[in-house]
């Protein structure tokens, strides 16, 4: 395990810092004392967590596109980062079906551009490429996928992330092994994240919140689909831990799953019922099967490797994750101090590590 004070004074670059996970990660790094620079397009949602938190006050926020190699290269040259977290992506499955070319452009060429910048920047010692649990060929197994399973995502989003994994593997073998240049690079495949400040469309908890705020029945696609739902702080801590540990020892670099325990891999039906329990028991939900687009029924992760190597384990179960998401959302609705709410949640989570 890693004490996050490791990051004090470290120069850290976060791509995708204006997105949901990027804001939470940047906030954790700022609290740890890192010198944080973000590179991303403008916040992808309205409202946006980045703007609600006014995060630009606390970090160097650069608006840019990972598809723009030359601008990204300039940023690397200017800031000389030691640690890089690559989160910039088109992250929505349904959007991947509607706009596949853009999805591949961002998720594939964005990874190439990022790694090419790393290759040409001597200061970089540790890199985390954030992918997804959907990179695996889904065989509709009821048990968790391991890191050595076949990478063959079905839909354009999932497949583009499989490609991102393969690109990372190629760059590691071609340019970054110990005989060439000692840079530690890991890919981390996270399960479905939930948490305060996610305003994305076509994601179950943000959709639940929108329906609940309008006092309408919650429409649920494929309620019997099983996913590895987890609070956003779970994978973010894992990213920070892996990046810090491999910074001083490249033997820690590799591929890692990060997700909940088996007991917390639950159906969408159960997730929505938990949301209603914490939000308002008077709300109802209705089922709407998604017939037009493919969606896997079962998806779980085997996180034994992360647990064995680092002694990591999830801290907040699914009910706690929903509780903290509702807590954040009601704080936002009541126009209370969102930054203080996030600080409290981060401190509570870290204190349990």
Tens of pLDDT, residues 200-239: 988 999 999 999 999 999 999 889 999 999 999 999 999 9
How confident is residue 291, by pLDDT bands cut at 50, 70 and 90?
A: low
- Tell me, what's the pLDDT at 289? 67
CA 286 to the chain's CA centroid: 28
- Tell me, what's the pLDDT at 302? 95
Are 71 and 65 a contacting pair, CB within 8 Å?
A: yes
**Packing angle of the helix pair 110-119, 156-175 (nearest 10 deg):** 20
226-227 and 230-231: which strand pairing?
A: unpaired
Mean pLDDT in the chain?
94
More confident call, 264 vs 231: 231
- Give the span between the Cα atoms of 213 and 249, in whole angstroms: 48
- Tell me, what's the pLDDT at 181? 77
- Give the span between the Cα atoms of 66 and 338, in whole angstroms: 29
What is the pTM assigned to this prediction? Answer: 0.95
How confident is residue 261, by pLDDT bands cut at 50, 70 and 90?
A: very high
Among 96, 322, 297, which residue's Cα sits nearest to residue 212? 322
- Give the span between the Cα atoms of 325 and 195, in whole angstroms: 5
3-state SS class at 292: coil
B/e letters for 308-324, b = 16+ CB within 10 Å, e = fewer, are eebebebbbbbeebbbb
Task: Mention every residue, 6+ apart, whose C-beta is less than 8 A from residue 294.
Answer: 154, 155
DSSP state at residue 14: E
Q: Percentage of the chain surpassing pLDDT 70? A: 97
How confident is residue 82, by pLDDT bands cut at 50, 70 and 90?
A: very high
Exposed, middle or buried, 45 (CB in 10 Å: 0-12/13-18/19+)?
A: middle
Q: Which domains does the chain have, with CATH numbers?
A: 4-351 (3.40.50.720)
SS in 3 state form for 55-95? HHHCCEEEECCCCCHHHHHHHHHHHCCCEEEECCCCCCHHH
Over residues 161-206, the pLDDT tens digits come to 999 999 999 999 999 976 667 899 999 999 899 999 999 988 999 9
What is the mean predicted confidence (pLDDT) over 123-141?
95
Are 162 and 153 a contacting pair, CB within 8 Å?
A: yes
What is the mean predicted confidence (pLDDT) over 2-19?
96
Biggest CA–CA distance in the chain, Å, is 63
What is the mean predicted confidence (pLDDT) over 70-75?
98
HSE of 349, CA atoms in CB hemisphere, 13 A: 27
Q: How many C-beta atoms surround the C-beta of residue 292 within 10 A? A: 6
Among 276, 311, 261, which residue's Cα sits nearest to residue 205? 276
Residue 38, H or E segment: strand 35-40
- Give the span between the Cα atoms of 152 and 296, in whole angstroms: 13
- Tell me, what's the pLDDT at 353? 67
Q: Percentage of the chain surpassing pLDDT 90? A: 85
What is the mean predicted confidence (pLDDT) over 234-252?
97
What DSSP string runs through 9-53?
A: T-EEEEETTTSHHHHHHHHHHHHHT-EEEEEESSPSSSS-HHHHT
- Tell me, what's the pLDDT at 292? 64
Are 262 and 227 a contacting pair, CB within 8 Å?
A: no
How confident is residue 263, by pLDDT bands cut at 50, 70 and 90?
A: confident
């Amino acid at each position: 395990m890693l004490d996050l004070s490791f990051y004090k004074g470290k120069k850290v670059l976060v791509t995708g810092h204006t997105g949901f996970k990027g804001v939470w990660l940047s906030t954790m790094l700022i609290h740890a004392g890192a010198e944080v620079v973000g590179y991303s397009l403008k916040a992808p949602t309205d409202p946006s967590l980045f703007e609600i938190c006014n995060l630009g006050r606390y970090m160097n926020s650069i608006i840019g596109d990972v598809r723009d190699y030359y601008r990204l290269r300039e940023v690397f040259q200017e800031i000389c980062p030691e640690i890089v977290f690559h989160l910039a992506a088109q992250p929505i499955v349904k959007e991947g079906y509607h706009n596949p070319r853009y999805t591949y452009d961002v998720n594939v060429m964005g990874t190439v551009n990022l790694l090419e910048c790393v290759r040409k920047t001597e200061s970089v010692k540790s890199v985390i490429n954030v992918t997804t649990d959907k990179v695996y060929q889904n065989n509709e197994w009821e048990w968790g996928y391991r890191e050595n399973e076949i990478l063959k995502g079905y839909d354009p989003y999932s497949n583009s992330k499989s490609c991102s994994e393969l690109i990372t593997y190629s760059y590691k073998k071609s340019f970054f092994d110990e005989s060439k240049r000692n840079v530690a690079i890991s890919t981390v495949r996270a399960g479905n994240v939930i948490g305060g400040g996610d305003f994305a469309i076509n994601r179950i908890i943000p959709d639940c919140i929108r329906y609940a705020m309008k006092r309408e029945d919650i429409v649920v696609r494929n309620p019997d689909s099983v996913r590895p739902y987890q609070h956003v702080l779970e994978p973010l801590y894992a990213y920070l831990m892996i990046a810090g540990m491999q910074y001083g020892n490249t033997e820690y670099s590799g591929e890692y799953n990060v997700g909940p325990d088996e007991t917390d891999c639950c159906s969408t039906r159960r997730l929505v019922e938990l949301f209603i329990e914490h939000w308002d028991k008077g709300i109802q939900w209705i089922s709407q099967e998604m017939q037009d687009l493919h969606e896997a029924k079962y998806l779980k992760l085997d996180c034994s490797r992360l647990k064995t190597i680092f002694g990591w384990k999830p801290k907040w179960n699914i009910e706690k994750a929903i509780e903290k998401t509702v807590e954040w959302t009601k704080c936002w609705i009541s126009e209370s101090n969102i930054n203080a709410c996030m600080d409290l949640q981060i401190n509570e989570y870290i204190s349990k590590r």
